[in-house]
Amino acid sequence: MTTFCTYTEKPGSAGKECPLIKIKLVYEYDRTVETGKEGEICVRGPVVFLGYWNLEHDNHYAFREGWHHTGDIGRLDENGYLWYVKRKSEKELIKPGGENVYPAEGGKAILENSCCVNILVQKLHLPQTGMEDLF
């Protein structure tokens, strides 16, 4: 999670909005949530990256209305500090060959093998097929 601008340190928070980064939290249909409620973290500003390389479909969805929808859930407190809560469940899903796989489930299965100590499960886009695969 990126740390945003902070004016007064608040341990555990990701910081506050500042002149270079604007933050809003949204829920269904991109409606803004109330202070203290959880929603998807959306950011915009000159320091936000411009998009994913060669993934126009993903960019169209992730950069709606000029905001980068991060796929993370957070909440803003009464002082405007952002608190990270979790990753959106839909962002945790990988669909190799059309099957639904959650990285945590795959990781658990692999770690049951006594020869594995640490692993990383992530998705890899396969441009030639337009599908995702596990890596």
For the residues of 64-118, what is the DSSP string, one character each?
A: GGG-EEEEEEEEE-TTSEEEEEEE-HHHH-B-BTT--B-HHHHHHHHHTSTT-S-
Of residues 42 and 96, the one with the higher pLDDT is 42
| Domains of the chain, residue spans | 15-87, 93-134
Confidence (pTM): 0.66
DSSP 31: E
15-87: CATH number: 2.30.38.10
Question: Which of 8, 75, 72, 63 lies closest to 35 in space, CA to CA?
Answer: 75
pLDDT digits (tens, 9 = 90+) for 68-126: 999 899 999 999 999 999 888 766 666 666 666 666 676 777 777 767 777 666 566 65
Q: Which residue has the tokens 């990270």?
A: 84
Which of 93, 77, 97 is CA-nearest to residue 85? 77
pLDDT reading at 48 higher than 90? yes
Of the candidates 32, 20, 113, which has an alpha carbon nearest to the alpha carbon of residue 69? 32
pLDDT at 4: 55
Average predicted confidence (pLDDT) for the chain? 80
User: In sequence order, what are the residues at sequence separation of 6 or more whose Cβ sits closer than 8 angstroms to the Cβ of residue 17?
Assistant: 4, 5, 23, 80
Neighbour-count burial for 17-37, b at 16+ CB within 10 Å, e otherwise: beeebebbbbeeeeeebeeee
Reduce the DSSP state of residue 52 to 3 states and report it. coil
Of 40-44, 59-63, 113-117, 130-134, minimum mean pLDDT range: 130-134
pLDDT confidence of 6, banded at 50, 70, 90?
A: very low
DSSP state of 53: T
